[in-house]
Amino acid sequence: MARSTKEEALETRGRILDAAAEVFHQNGVSRTTLADVAAAADVTRGAIYWHFKNKSDLFDAMCERVRLPMEAMIEKAADENAYDPLNQFRNRCLFALQEATLNSQSRKVFEIVFHKCELVDPEDPIFIRQHECFLQGRTDVERLLRFAVAKGQLPRELDPVLAAVMVQGLLVGILSNWTFSPHSFDLAEHASKVVDNCIHMFKTSPFMLKNNEV
């Protein structure tokens, strides 16, 4: 009986998260209430509060369902003893881009984060979470690039801070543009070329070096 109850609770939680993604995507995060989510999930508001403290907690859990695989990959990849950190960097970038095209759940959450979420209050837990993820993402990219430099896969004088800023801007910009207008370009077809051109720039452009005087 206890196991059945636990399974039912997990099923209810999953249904609430699915409904939240649908309603956030349809109405936007700021205009969605927990009552809206409850109606879409066919549960009571009390059931939502049993699983989530508030809308911010619900939003966080929705994002975690698609971010966890990427975070696990990042943790595994960001290893200074890795044999081929540059290839791990490439795979990580491709994973981030291809996840939107191959995983419909991830795509929906990306669309919510990029286009259906008003980040106007710096004290809002949703704003704080997004800001922390933004900074952590850049730090992870910078670490991988430093490891690639240490392995001799990238120029010794590469500026890893500038490179990380450019990588983050490139990936976020492409994902934002594609989720806004997916028919405007073929992300699946161009993803590997985008990443490989980025790596080529790091290897060859003098403007990516520290103390560049070109």
Q: Domain range holding 9?
A: 1-52
163 and 67 belong to one structural domain? yes
CA distances from 205 to 108, 153, 157, 183, 197 (A): 36, 14, 11, 32, 11
Please tell me whether residues 100 and 9 are part of one structural domain: no
Tell me the CATH number at 186: 1.10.357.10
Q: Do 108 and 42 belong together in one domain?
A: no
Looking at every residue in the chain, the average pLDDT score rounds to 86
Together in a domain, 70 and 100: yes
pTM higher than 0.85: no
Residue 8 belongs to some domain of the structure: yes
CA 163 to chain centroid: 18
| Residues 174-203, mean pLDDT to the nearest whole number | 95
Do 5 and 64 belong to one domain?
Answer: no
Task: Assess whether pLDDT exceeds 60 at residue 13.
Answer: yes
Q: What is the CATH number of the domain that holds 47?
A: 1.10.10.60
Instruction: Identify whether 112 is part of a domain.
Output: yes
Do residues 110 and 138 both lie within one domain?
Answer: yes
Give the chain's radius of gyration (CA, Å).
20
Whether residue 30 sits in one domain with residue 106: no
- Domain shared by 127 and 173, yes or no: yes
109 phi and psi, to 5 degrees? -65, -40
Distance of alpha carbon 197 from alpha carbon 201, whole angstroms: 6
pLDDT grade for 207, boundaries at 50, 70 and 90: very high
Domain count, the chain: 2
Is 70 exceeded by the pLDDT of residue 17? yes
